Amino acid sequence: FDRMKPVIVVHGGAGRIFKEREEGSRTGVVRAALRGYGMLKQGGSALDAVEEAVRSMEDDPHFNAGCGSVLNEKGEVEMDAIIMDGKNLDSGAVSAVKCIANPIKLARLVMEKTKHMLLTDSGAHLFAQAMGIPEIPGEKLITERSRERWKNNLEPDSNPQEFQKDLGTVGAVAIDSEGNVACATSTGGLSNKLTGRVGDTACIGSGGYADNHSGATSTTGHGESIMKVVLARLILYHMEQGMSPGMAADTALDYMKTRVGGLGGVIVVNNSGEWAARFSTKQMSWATVKDDQLHYGIYAGERHTKSVGEALASESEGF
């Protein structure tokens, strides 16, 4: 049996990344990719690697997931997350969850400890308690920036749509040495969204999809548009028709733009370890590690490359 070379790809959200946040976004996706890759190198599963990478970004206030999530109309954090195993198409998701640090952990438990795929709101909360997940005060997840933005969006002349361009869903896809693929996606959703709004992230086939027969993908961007075209599954469909990951991603993003006017970004890995990071927005922070080489970028056409050794050394010094 020919062992696969493991690959991980992560994204920190598509949209507009403001200048003062670029460095933090780059550092955050690089750290997440290195952490996930570290697990894969030690023989860890794709599932463990994507969960770890996403957890790392949930804990990073630069991203709209976990700590740093945007606020809904009432000024609260409500988060969505999904994880999927390409081996048997098992998936777990949570939506509209509050007061927990890592929704992706809870999604993994939904997949492994229940017969269900999606738990929401108070039901997800009860399940988290049953699983012994510590509850944290909602304020702990709220950054100064999220509160500022929420306030600004409440102004009568504000246009929350204008700010939605800085979306920051986080996600990861991976293939491990056994050839199994997995995906994970987590988000705080849209700023000033209606209470109870659930976007694409928690929806299988939209926010993510993983199938060993073709590959895995995680999406980011305008949730309602992504749901309309079932973006993640659409990309895998194109790969099943013989397209490369990059071609499949571009084709699906292009369709979403022309058909429903939606912009977004995707990361993809196919079952032979080829990867892609593509977006129709201005920017998307992304990073990938394959063959001990780290690649990362934010702008279209931007791609930095470092060896993993070099990256880990500068990681420990701080960028």
Question: How high is the pLDDT of residue 163?
Answer: 47
220 carries a ligand binding annotation: yes
What is the rounded CA–CA span in Å between residue 135 and residue 154?
A: 28
Q: Whole domain around residue 213: which residue ranges?
A: 7-317
Sign of CA dihedral 42, 58, 236, 281: negative
Residues 138-154, buried b or exposed e (16+ Cβ, 10 A)?
eeebbbeebeebbeebe
What is the rounded CA–CA span in Å between residue 57 and residue 71?
A: 18
Rounded mean pLDDT of 38-43? 96
251 occurs within a structural domain? yes
Query: Is 53 within 8 Å of 104 (Cβ atoms)?
Result: no
**Confidence band, pLDDT 50/70/90 cuts, at residue 319:** very low
Please report, rounded to a whole number, the percentage of residues in the chain having pLDDT higher than 70.
95
265 carries a ligand binding annotation: no
103 occurs within a structural domain? yes
Q: Output the domain CATH number for residue 181.
A: 3.60.20.30
Specify the length of the chain in residues.
319
Q: Write the pLDDT tens digit of every residue in 264-286.
A: 999 999 999 999 999 999 999 99
From 27, 169, 251, 281, the catalytic residue: 169
188 carries a ligand binding annotation: no
pLDDT at 39 over 90: yes
Question: How high is the pLDDT of residue 3?
Answer: 83
Query: Would you call 217 a catalytic residue per the annotation?
Result: no
222 carries a ligand binding annotation: yes
Residues 57-82, buried b or exposed e (16+ Cβ, 10 A)?
bbbbbbbbbbbbbbbbeeebbbbbbb
Query: Is 96 within 8 Å of 216 (Cβ atoms)?
Result: no
pLDDT at 165 over 80: no
Residue 166 DSSP one-character state: B
Q: What is the pTM of this model?
A: 0.95
1 occurs within a structural domain? no
Which comes out higher in pLDDT, residue 148 or 90? 90
pLDDT at 27 over 70: yes
Question: How high is the pLDDT of residue 217?
Answer: 98
Question: How high is the pLDDT of residue 152?
Answer: 87
Mean pLDDT comparison of 141-145, 171-175, 193-197, highest-scoring range: 171-175
199 carries a ligand binding annotation: yes
pLDDT at 298 over 60: yes
2 occurs within a structural domain? no
**Confidence band, pLDDT 50/70/90 cuts, at residue 2:** low
The whole-angstrom distance between residue 87's C-alpha and the CA centroid of its chain comes to 20
- In 3D space, the residue among 200, 202, 266, 205 whose CA is nearest the CA of residue 233 turns out to be 205
271 occurs within a structural domain? yes
183 occurs within a structural domain? yes
What is the rounded CA–CA span in Å between residue 172 and residue 288?
A: 9
pLDDT at 80 over 90: yes
Q: Write the pLDDT tens digit of every residue in 98-138.
A: 999 999 999 999 999 999 999 999 999 999 999 999 999 99
200 carries a ligand binding annotation: yes
Query: Is 23 within 8 Å of 194 (Cβ atoms)?
Result: no
Report the chain's mean pLDDT, rounded to a whole number.
Answer: 93
* Counted domains in the chain: 1
174 occurs within a structural domain? yes
68 occurs within a structural domain? yes
What is the rounded CA–CA span in Å between residue 50 and residue 141?
A: 22
223 carries a ligand binding annotation: yes
